[in-house]
Structure 1
């Protein structure tokens, strides 16, 4: 799946850990030809599905990432992506990808999650997602097995995290394709 030249990046972590911001920063820094496969978009918007074991969104995330890689796009898969629900799919994506694959877990303590959540600009989302929700969703160090992920802590700024992922994946040395 993909080519020797495509990059697959997986960014996981708890709600409000910065996953979407990092994905957006990667695209802004890299340019075109980088697909963002967001769990929230596919699960909540496209399917309007709850996050449950065996959900249809797991296969849709997998198919979307594979399709983009097979068509020459670099791919960022981002979301909470609980290890027990999404881990097998992520591991299979990484093992099937012919190019460079890198996985990251944004490790943010619960207290920081609450602070970051409060800064979101979507008033409707803030009314619908309460601190009780965040507490229910929070899983400390929900890492994938076999050391597949690099853990990035709160001491890494957004810019530092983006630069690190660009460097680790080799995207900092790849020219974007203007599609």
Structure 2
């Protein structure tokens, strides 16, 4: 597939991946809260489960939809956070193409959280329906240890990094702390 430039030199792309309950959505929300308007969040769960209502499988439609949505947001001038489990073998090519094609600063992070910590973090979620639907057996089945993208594309964030510290790190390393939000 030929390269198609996306975004501008000013746009920032942040990819946050990791196992279920590793903190991806919390980090994306923290980035938006810290940054303000003009930061798009492209969530795998939203597009896969809510928009398409499809299973996560190789070649699924949500993979392309995530890429197209992120590209659209970047082309519209939004800084963009793509977040989700996004297994490397299924989503890796789309993510690598997106990073390669982005004209601005791109940073990718993998949240490396052990399975025991995954169980503990999941138990703290406030959504009772989710807690009853997603069991420890599900979390165990979905868990992939250090499912890193090839080529050293990601920085690893371990489980000892507090949410606020991780958000600060990503803000600094992506340059989001040096650009002003646009009130759209």
Q: Name 1:142's counterpart in structure 2.
A: 147
Q: TM-score, normalised by structure 1?
A: 1.00
1:20-169 aligned at under 5 Å gives the runs: 20-169=25-174
Deviation per CA, 1:97-117: give whole Å up to 9, x if none. Answer: 000000000000000000000
Matched residue count: 179
> CA–CA distance in 1 between the matches of 2:151 and 2:58?
21
Q: Which runs of 5+ in 1 are unaligned?
A: none
Q: Which runs of 5+ in 2 are unaligned?
A: 1-5
In structure 2, C-alpha distance between the alignment counterparts of 1:107 and 1:92, rounded to whole Å = 23
Q: Secondary structure at the match of 1:12?
A: strand
Match of 1:112, SS? helix
- Displaced runs of 4+ in structure 1, greater than 2 A? none
